[in-house]
Amino acid sequence: MRKIEVQMNDAISNKVNWKNTNTEVLYINGVSYVYLHGNKIAEVGDNFIRLFDGGYQTKTTKSRLNAILSEHGLKNEGVYQKAYKWFLRLSDNTSIPFFDSMRLA
């Protein structure tokens, strides 16, 4: 995991605002909102994670989402790409197509 992703996850865990270069966490009313280049890519609450691609399915977006899922999600959850399409691997190792604003509880 990249240093910036460790710092991002620390901000989410500690429920604080944080910003470093292209990544920002804003903690508002019990939810951490994560932005990459000003585009929302995740919302992390105590009992849920909501994922967004911010309109850009890039390696960096996928890396940030996977860092969030590895720290705050369930074991084995992750975003991956196959044939230019994104998928979400669930904790039971099944996969579903990625869609913007998908919520994991």
What is the per-residue pLDDT for 99? 93
> Residue 104 pLDDT > 90, yes or no?
no
Instruction: Quote the pLDDT of residue 102.
Output: 87
Are 68 and 62 a contacting pair, CB within 8 Å? no
pLDDT digits (tens, 9 = 90+) for 23-76: 999 999 999 999 999 999 999 999 999 999 988 899 999 999 999 999 999 999
Assessment of whether the complete model's pTM goes beyond 0.75: yes
Is the Cβ–Cβ distance between 50 and 63 less than 8 Å? no
**Cβ-contact 69, 49 below 8 angstroms:** yes
